[in-house]
Amino acid sequence: MKKILFSMFTFFISFGFASEYLFTSESVTEGHPDKICDQISDAVLDEVLKYDAEGRVACETLAAKGTIFVTGEISSSHQVDFDALVRGVLKDIGYTKTGWGICNSECSVITVMNQQSPDIAMGVDDTEDKEQGAGDQGLMFGYACKETKELMPLPISLAHKLAKKLSDVRKNRTLPWLRPDGKAQVTVRYVDEKPVEITSVVIAAQHDPDISLEYIQKSIKEKVILPVCQDYLSDKTQYFINGTGLFIIGGPEGDTGLTGRKIIVDTYGGTSRHGGGCFSGKDPSKVDRSASYMARYVAKNIVAAGLAEKCEIQIAYCIGIAEPVSVYINTFGTNQIPESEIEAIVRKVFPLKPADIISHLNLKSPTYRKTAAYGHFGREEEDFSWEKTDKVEEILQILAQ
């Protein structure tokens, strides 16, 4: 009987009759080891751009027990004080005490830096004979959907808000026994492609040693989960808070951190595909970052203009070449006009060459560190230029012609 039922289930799935599924996304706090590294790498980038808008940065950070190792390539007229910068980031996050995972005043800071390869610079530099090309080959994805007001998938939107709330209640001392490291995960039930309810919430929160698990679970549910998720909770929602029972050892003492290891957290929580390149520590000549921001900008404006309920776009480049080698649009059957016409509109309305992307989105501004925790997308703040929907009117004018 079980084999028959499984065969019937497989049949329904294969022919698209299944209308219900669960989808999960996660986020992490700014004190997570990998996010420490992302923030340091982007703080280095901001420091360079603040004094040298044409600086080239590819910065990688490794965080291990008691040590922050910063390396990569920087070509700039500005000399970065890495020691002061690293300790400042750790202090801002909240790593100021011995035994919390790393201490800003006690850790070692090791730096090894090189300059950008002249072979790469030759393909990227804007000269009289050649416009600025892409800083590398690669493929980038952007995505938007109508599940939330910011046109992001609901699971990653809620996961980010939970992770941010964990940090907020720590910093404002609502829950003063929390420490900087933490993670959040949300599972949402979908029916006919629409989010209906949260089936589970998972929280891992670093804490002081003298707090009972029962009190931690009660406090986090009351002060973190309910304020963020109440619109989608039900009496069947499951709560998993500090599932191992203890989370005292955190930060780089508990787990080594590395720049670029949270690329799904940084983007769409797994709802959309990913080209593989991380963002943090890279100046905008690297299309891993700038073209991903443009792809989000394109997808969001397409959805905001009503051309589709959801939209994924892929843009691909060759190193040293300005024009993308391909542009691909996928609306998952929600398009109001043919996808080929949407692609034509995209090529007409949106700048896709690296130099034009950088100019249009103002990507030489030193505002990257704030992107390095709680997601690069879905945050409708002034510095997140790729979140604007200022191309909607132009799109609609083209459709009206």
List the structure tokens of 85.
Answer: 């910068």
Q: Measured between alpha carbons, how far is 143 from 294 in angstroms, rounded to an integer?
A: 10
Residues near 184 by Cβ (< 8 Å), separated by ≥ 6? 26, 27, 28, 29, 159, 160, 162, 163, 166, 201, 202, 203, 204
The reported pTM is: 0.93
List the structure tokens of 331.
Answer: 């609306």
Q: Measured between alpha carbons, how far is 222 from 269 in angstroms, rounded to an integer?
A: 25
Q: Say if strands 67-75 and 108-114 run parallel, antiparallel, or are unpaired.
A: parallel
User: What pLDDT score was predicted for residue 14?
Assistant: 47
Of 2, 43, 1, 25, which Cα lies nearest the Cα of 274? Answer: 25
List the structure tokens of 261.
Answer: 């290891």
Question: What count of Cα atoms within 13 Å lies in the side-chain half-sphere of residue 41?
Answer: 32
Q: Say if strands 178-191 and 194-207 run parallel, antiparallel, or are unpaired.
A: antiparallel
Buried b (16+ CB within 10 A) or exposed e, 169-185: bbeeeebebbbbbbbbb
User: What pLDDT score was predicted for residue 10?
Assistant: 45
Contact in structure between 379 and 367 (CB atoms under 8 Å): no
Q: Measured between alpha carbons, how far is 79 from 235 in angstroms, rounded to an integer?
A: 56
Sole residue written with tokens 């530099």: 125
Angle between helices 339-349 and 287-304 (to 10 degrees): 120
Give strand pairing partners of 61. Answer: 70
User: What pLDDT score was predicted for residue 6?
Assistant: 40
Domains and CATH numbers, the chain: 19-29+153-251 (3.30.300.10), 138-146+286-400 (3.30.300.10)
Q: Measured between alpha carbons, how far is 187 from 238 in angstroms, rounded to an integer?
A: 10
- 10-residue mean pLDDT profile of the chain (401 residues): values are 44 59 98 98 98 96 97 95 98 97 98 79 60 89 98 98 98 98 98 97 97 98 98 97 96 97 98 97 96 98 98 96 96 97 97 97 97 97 96 96 85
Q: Measured between alpha carbons, how far is 81 from 89 in angstroms, rounded to an integer?
A: 12
User: Which DSSP category does 279 fall into?
Assistant: -
Sole residue written with tokens 């690069």: 376
